[in-house]
């Protein structure tokens, strides 16, 4: 039985209020967008959420005060991160050509206060599969990023549970990547738990453009063709039900990851430990996913992932660069080649080599190539068995976000897409969580894969 069928009657989420939060200070200005931003126009927003346990049995007034504090601190935080309180402006020119910018006009952020009165923190943490009610903890289901012309670029939903709180954030991916998203959340948490309305690392809002480039960038784009959902990140509800897409958390402790990395590097014969812990772990996962699908050995399979470019430029972009600074790439192998003895090491080595090619010169060439041949993030192929996509990073500070009532007990992904893996830091130091979205039958098979589960610490 599909996991969504098992938990669909757990409870319902009731909306208590919905309003718009604006920045306390605002400057009306425009931010031109780079190819790194524009590539996400046709994709779905980025959804991440934090789960908190509440230790008060009769806490209604306490929670009401905390939610009011969240509103005030959000308004203060938006003064530093003004693009999130703005909107997209898409200008259509002749011959189906368009340009797109962020108007920092303080249109505001959607703030939703909700309640899941029959759902506890344990109901979210204990099941093997992520309960379907978690999808209801996020706003803007079915919305695409280009709709940021009329929809807020950030929506925050605060959902009260029986004994906890869930803060679900939906970010327009044209405005931010993961690095910028967590920069904002980290700053908001700091303002919320303290009396100071200042942040230690102000974002750098000016986007990076090569010398001589015409701004804003013009590219082929019309609104109407984007209505074909099969070309975007999102799956329709009927597709999801047909494939029975579920999400399962696999937790890896530091010592297990170190053992895996050492084993892979030893088999490769590397004395310099060139394969990173993450590269070893992701190829370990990839092999189990492919085993679960029982594909023909001659079929070609793809592992897609994003690479952060901030530190790879010369000189590097500053860490506090606010926007998108990531590009997608991928490796491919035949099933038989990946699953044979030594195949996992070869996959890790291919990933390592590909990442190493992303030099300053290569990244600038990639940027200029996009200007000549614009392309957008489309994962239509993700609905077939051959693709696995990696998102997010274990280097983001997710468990340090104390809004005033302690650290989160879990971090969740709100993008439930077939073949998507979200990588998070684990709750213990040095550990890693992989949240994997696949058909239920594949996740069950992975859970019974001794080779894979030997490394898993759930």
Q: What residues are paired with 97 via a beta bridge?
A: 220
Query: Angle at CA 183, nearest 5°, toward 109 and 234?
Result: 60
Q: Rounded CA gap, 280 and 344, in Å?
A: 8
Catalytic residue among 173, 183, 207, 284, which? 173
Catalytic residue among 163, 239, 320, 402, which? 402
Q: Rounded CA gap, 429 and 126, in Å?
A: 21
Beta strands 29-32 and 218-220: pairing type?
unpaired
Rg (CA), the chain: 22
- Peptide bond just before 364 cis, omega within 30 deg: no
Residue that has been written with the tokens 């346990």 in this structure: 53
Crossing angle (nearest 10°) for helices 277-293 and 440-447? 120
Of the candidates 211, 220, 225, 207, the one whose C-alpha atom is nearest the C-alpha of residue 371 is: 220
Residue 402 among the catalytic residues: yes
Count the neighbouring beta carbons within 10 Å of the beta carbon of residue 386.
Answer: 16
Is there a contact between 424 and 415 (Cβ–Cβ < 8 Å)?
no
Nearest-10 Cα torsion for 408, 139, 184, 27 = -150
Of the candidates 211, 190, 179, the one whose C-alpha atom is nearest the C-alpha of residue 74 is: 190
Q: Rounded CA gap, 71 and 192, in Å?
A: 9
Catalytic residue positions? 173, 402
């Amino acid at each position: 039985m599909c996991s969504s069928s098992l938990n669909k009657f757990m409870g319902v989420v009731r909306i208590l209020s919905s309003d718009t939060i604006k920045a306390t200070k605002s400057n009306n200005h425009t931010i031109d967008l780079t190819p790194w931003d524009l590539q996400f126009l046709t994709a779905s927003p980025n959804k991440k959420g934090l789960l908190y346990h509440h230790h008060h049995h009769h806490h209604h007034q306490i929670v009401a005060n905390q939610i009011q504090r969240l509103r005030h601190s959000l308004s203060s935080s938006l003064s530093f991160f003004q693009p999130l309180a703005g909107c997209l402006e898409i200008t259509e020119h002749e011959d189906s050509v368009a340009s797109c910018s962020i108007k920092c006009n303080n249109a505001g952020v959607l703030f939703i206060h909700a309640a899941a009165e029959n759902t506890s923190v344990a109901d979210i943490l204990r099941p093997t599969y992520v309960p379907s009610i978690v999808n209801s903890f996020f706003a803007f289901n079915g919305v695409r990023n280009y709709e940021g012309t009329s929809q807020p670029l950030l929506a925050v939903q605060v959902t009260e549970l029986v004994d906890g709180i869930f803060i679900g954030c939906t970010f327009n991916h044209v405005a931010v990547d993961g690095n910028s998203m967590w920069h904002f959340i980290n700053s908001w948490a700091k303002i919320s738990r303290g009396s100071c309305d200042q942040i230690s690392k102000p974002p750098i809002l000016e986007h990076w453009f090569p010398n001589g480039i015409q701004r804003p960038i013009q590219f082929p784009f019309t609104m109407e063709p984007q209505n074909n959902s099969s070309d975007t990140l999102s799956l329709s509800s009927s597709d999801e039900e047909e494939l029975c897409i579920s999400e399962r958390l696999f937790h890896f402790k530091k010592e297990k990851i170190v053992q895996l990395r050492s084993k892979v590097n030893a088999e490769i014969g590397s004395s310099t430990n060139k394969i990173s812990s993450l590269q070893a772990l992701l190829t370990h996962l990839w092999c189990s996913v492919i085993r679960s699908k029982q594909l023909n050995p001659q079929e070609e399979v793809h592992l897609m992932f994003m690479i952060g470019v901030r530190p790879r430029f010369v000189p590097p972009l500053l860490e506090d660069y606010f926007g998108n600074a990531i590009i997608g790439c991928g490796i491919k192998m035949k099933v038989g080649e990946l699953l044979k003895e030594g195949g996992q090491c070869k996959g890790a080595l291919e990933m390592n080599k590909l990442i190493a090619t992303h030099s300053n010169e290569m990244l600038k060439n990639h940027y200029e190539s996009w200007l000549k041949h614009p392309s957008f993030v489309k994962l239509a192929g993700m609905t077939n068995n051959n693709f696995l996509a990696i998102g997010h990073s274990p280097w983001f500070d997710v468990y340090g976000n104390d809004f005033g009532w302690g650290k989160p007990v879990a971090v969740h992904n709100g993008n439930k897409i077939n073949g998507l893996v979200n990588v998070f830091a684990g709750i213990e130091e040095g550990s890693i969580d992989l949240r994997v979205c696949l058909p239920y039958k594949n996740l069950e098979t992975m859970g019974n894969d001794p080779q894979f589960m030997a490394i898993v610490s759930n």
